Amino acid sequence: MAIASIKQNILSGLRWQILAKLGSQIISWSVTIFVMRLLLPADYGLMAMAMVLVGFTSLVAEMGLGAALVRSTQIDPAQQRSVFGLSLMVNSALYLLLACAAPLAVAVFHEPRLLALTLIMGLQLPIGALSVVPDSMAKRDMQFKALGVIELLVQVSTAATTLAGALLGLGVWALVAGQFAQTLVKSVLLTWHFGTVAPSFKLQGQARLVAFGGSLTANRVVWYLWSQADLFIAGRLLGPQLLGIYSVAANLANMPMQKVMAISNQVAFSAFAKLQGDRTAMSSALLRALRVVLALSVGLLWSLAGVAPELVPLLLGDKWSAAVLPLQILSAIVPLRIMTSTLSTALIAAGHVNDDLKNTVMAAILLIPGFYAGAHFGGMTGLALAWLICYPIFSVILIRQAAARFGLTMTSILHQLLNPAISGAAMLAAIAIGRAVLTGQPPPMILLCVGLAGAASYILTLWLCDRQLLQDFKELVAPSASISS
Cα–Cα distance between 173 and 407 in angstroms, integer?
50
HSE, side-chain direction, 13 A CA sphere, residue 327:
27
Cα–Cα distance between 470 and 294 in angstroms, integer?
14
Question: Sign of the CA dihedral 312, 318, 320, 326?
Answer: positive
Average confidence (pLDDT) over 129-141: 80
Cα–Cα distance between 232 and 458 in angstroms, integer?
36
Cα–Cα distance between 6 and 142 in angstroms, integer?
9
Residue-wise pLDDT tens digits, 393-411: 999 999 998 898 888 899 9
Task: Give the helix ranges, DSSP H, for 122-238.
Answer: 124-128, 132-140, 144-167, 172-194, 207-227, 229-237
Cα–Cα distance between 41 and 243 in angstroms, integer?
8
Please report which confidence band the pLDDT of residue 270 belongs to, taking 50, 70 and 90 as the band edges: low
Residue-wise pLDDT tens digits, 180-189: 898 999 999 9
Name 256's Cβ contacts closer than 8 Å, sequence gap at least 6.
297, 300, 301, 304, 334
Q: Is the pLDDT of residue 252 over 60?
A: yes
For residues 213 and 205, is the Cβ–Cβ distance under 8 A?
no
Q: Is the pLDDT of residue 485 over 50?
A: no
**How far does the chain reach from its first CA to its final CA, in angstroms?**
13
Average confidence (pLDDT) over 270-296: 73
For residues 329 and 249, is the Cβ–Cβ distance under 8 A?
no
Q: Is the pLDDT of residue 37 over 80?
A: yes
Q: Is the pLDDT of residue 171 over 60?
A: yes
Residue 5, pLDDT score: 52
Give the C-alpha distances (Å, rounded to integers) separating 173 from 53, 66, 243, 312: 17, 30, 18, 24
Q: Is the pLDDT of residue 343 over 60?
A: yes
Residue 10, pLDDT score: 52
Average confidence (pLDDT) over 241-253: 86
Average confidence (pLDDT) over 121-137: 85
Average confidence (pLDDT) over 373-383: 92
Average pLDDT of every residue of the chain: 81
Average confidence (pLDDT) over 342-354: 78
Average confidence (pLDDT) over 442-454: 93
Residue 263, pLDDT score: 54
Which contiguous run of DSSP H or E holds residue 89?
Answer: helix 77-109
Q: Where are the domains of the chain?
A: 1-197+204-227, 240-477
- Top mean-pLDDT range of 188-192, 261-265, 284-288: 188-192
Q: Is the pLDDT of residue 480 over 50?
A: no
HSE, side-chain direction, 13 A CA sphere, residue 394:
31
Alpha carbon 89 to chain centroid, angstroms: 27
For residues 368 and 229, is the Cβ–Cβ distance under 8 A?
yes
Alpha carbon 484 to chain centroid, angstroms: 31
Residue 447, pLDDT score: 93
Q: Is the pLDDT of residue 41 over 90?
A: no
Nearest Cα residue to 412 out of 422, 427, 402, 424: 402
- Angle separating helix axes 324-349 and 279-316, nearest 10 degrees: 160
Please report which confidence band the pLDDT of residue 147 belongs to, taking 50, 70 and 90 as the band edges: confident
Residue-wise pLDDT tens digits, 197-237: 788 777 665 556 666 666 667 777 777 778 888 888 888 88
Least confidently predicted of 134-143, 311-320, 335-344: 134-143
